[in-house]
Amino acid sequence: MTSREGIVNWIFITPVMIILLGVTIFPLLFAYYMSAHDMTMVNFWHPNFVGLENYLEIITTTDFWSSLRFSLFFMVIVTTIETLLGLFMAVYFDRPLKGKRFLISFILIPLGIAPALFGIMMKLMLNEFVGIVPFILRHLGVTFHFFKDFTSSLITLIWVDVIQWTPFIFIVLYAAIQALPREPIEAAIVDGASKWQLFRYITLPMLKRTLIIVLIFRMMDALKTFDTIYVMTGGGPGISTTTLSIYIFKLALIRGDFGLAAAATILFLYLATVAISFALKRMRREGII
């Protein structure tokens, strides 16, 4: 290929490059600039240089660390539950069932709802006055306040996340199971393998590649959770369910301190970049990208 041809090839990708440069790369560089200045809602044209002051303030406040801790904690819990449940469902549906296609479409519905709307929906369902769940619980003689303290809020948020995102893991794994070659499975059945052995030693190893992909996506998406938690608890009670996304959002919009928010942004960027570089390396090794 001549170099002239190489330049022509780049023309195809130029519009995308310009947009990504302007809307993703430049803002990240700008975030560095912001983080070193005392930029606020009222003076973003002429901010003063403050060096590393913003970073110092972020890493010495407990709010940053507690939201980081909650983000990681939430990510690990929901990913674990959703993966196990999704895997169980994918295996469960790998059999003749009456009305299976319809049932699968039905289970996928939460995936098609905007997370913010889904959060509102769940909040309504758990509402003390109109919610059907407290109504049923009352009649069963159980009293449970869904947003009273950290523990109850956490259980509620995990529950909501599981309903919304298990279908994602389920459908990806289900599709992967359907596409598996049937010969090894049939051979194992002939050899008298039990259902558990079939799953543990045949299906699961063949699913490894898909599991890695789905875990990477789900973990990164869980790490950035904002919508549902923001509409349901707003990060409370107190700041106990504040994720890093909510923390930075509040620094920028409620406190109006863009410099501080930018410093927290850069710290989050480093954290996410470390995670993503592991993920990309793994995906390249598996030949995914």
Partner 1 sequence: MNSLVEKLISAIITAILIIFFGFPVGFVIWTSFRDYGAILAGQFFGFHYSLTNYFNVLFNPGYAFTKGLINSIIVTIATTGLVLLVSFPAAYALARFRIGGGSLSSYIFSIRLLPPIIFAVPLLVLLYMLQLHDTLLGLTIVYLAFNIPLAVFLLRSFIMEIPIEIEEAAIVDGCSKFRVMLYVTLPLSKPGLIATSILTFIMVWAEYLFALLFTLKNAVTINVVASQFVTQHTIRYGEIAAAVTIGMLPTVVFLTLIQKYLVKGLTLGAVRGA
Nearer to partner 1, 136 or 189 (CB): 136
Nearer to partner 1, 103 or 187 (CB): 103
Shortest distance, CB of residue 232 to partner 1, whole angstroms? 10
Part in contact with partner 1 (CB under 8 A); list of ranges 49-57, 74-82, 168-176, 196-204: 168-176
Residues of this chain, 189-228, that bind partner 1 according to CB under 8 A: 210, 213-214, 216-217, 220, 223-224, 226-227
Question: Residue 78's closest CA among 147, 154, 171, 158?
Answer: 158
Asked if 78 interacts with partner 1 (CB under 8 A), we say no
Binding residue (CB under 8 A) for partner 1 from 72, 77, 81, 125: 125
Shortest distance, CB of residue 108 to partner 1, whole angstroms? 6
How many amino acids of this chain bind partner 1 (CB under 8 A)? 94
Asked if 76 interacts with partner 1 (CB under 8 A), we say no
Question: Which pairs count as long-range contacts for 186-195, CB under 8 Å and 24+ apart, including other chains?
Answer: none
Part in contact with partner 1 (CB under 8 A); list of ranges 18-26, 49-57, 144-152, 183-191: 18-26
Asked if 229 interacts with partner 1 (CB under 8 A), we say no
Residues of this chain, 22-61, that bind partner 1 according to CB under 8 A: 22-24, 26-28, 30-31, 34, 39, 44-45
Binding residue (CB under 8 A) for partner 1 from 77, 116, 193, 215: 116
Residues of this chain, 86-115, that bind partner 1 according to CB under 8 A: 89, 92, 97, 103-115
Residues of this chain, 233-262, that bind partner 1 according to CB under 8 A: 244-245, 248-249, 252-253, 258, 261-262
Shortest distance, CB of residue 138 to partner 1, whole angstroms? 10
- Determine the Cα–Cα distance for residues 110 and 55; give it in Å rounded to an integer: 39
